[in-house]
Amino acid sequence: MSKKSENKVLAQNKKASHDYFIEDTYECGLVLTGTEIKSLRQGRANIGDAFATIRNGEAFVHNMHISPFEQGNRHNPGDPTRARKLLLKKAEINKLFGLAKQEGYTLVPLKVYVRNGFAKLLLGLGKGKKQYDKRDTAAKRDAQRDIQRALREKQKIAR
């Protein structure tokens, strides 16, 4: 028996951690049509500009680009950036709706991956960063890098 791929990351939103403080994450399923899963497994997806909304008790992801499958047939969807439904439990949707309504919070797709043969999307509850927050984060990262560099140099000298 072959073991199915576990958490193979297909698309990742690297700008999300730069632009938002991610406070909580939720794993949700994706409703895909036609040959979208084949294209997704080839890594032909982009979630850089994507965002999620909740309407009528259902969650949707918008601006998630999945390129049409090249060897596709008539079941290829026409619009690669159409809104796709997210599969979440009703309690999670209600909780996210209440949290995302607060000022400054938004639902940000963080990554798309395959778990046990199903396409999943990691959805983060993000609070927007101001410009000075971004500079502060960059300064901390640079300081941590300098500390690690100094420790490596000290270990080289000790040898």
**In contact, 112 and 30? CB cutoff 8 Å:** yes
Residue 48 sits at φ, ψ, to 5 deg, of: -60, -40
Regarding whether 109 and 97 lie in a shared domain, the answer is: yes
- Specify if 2 maps to a domain: no
Regarding whether 39 and 56 lie in a shared domain, the answer is: yes
Regarding whether 68 and 33 lie in a shared domain, the answer is: yes
Return the pLDDT at 1: 44
Instruction: Give the total residue count for the chain.
Output: 159
Both structure tokens of 2: 């072959």
Each residue's pLDDT tens digit in the chain (159 positions)? Answer: 445 556 788 889 888 888 888 999 999 999 988 788 888 888 888 898 899 999 999 999 999 988 888 776 666 667 788 899 999 999 999 998 998 888 888 999 999 999 988 899 999 998 888 888 888 888 999 999 999 999 998 888 877
C-alpha–C-alpha distance, residues 80 and 61, integer Å: 12
For the stretch 116-127, pLDDT in tens is 888 999 999 988
Regarding whether 136 and 99 lie in a shared domain, the answer is: no
C-alpha–C-alpha distance, residues 59 and 84, integer Å: 9
pTM tops 0.85:
no
Regarding whether 45 and 80 lie in a shared domain, the answer is: yes
- Specify if 117 maps to a domain: yes
For the stretch 97-142, pLDDT in tens is 998 888 888 999 999 999 988 899 999 998 888 888 888 888 999 9
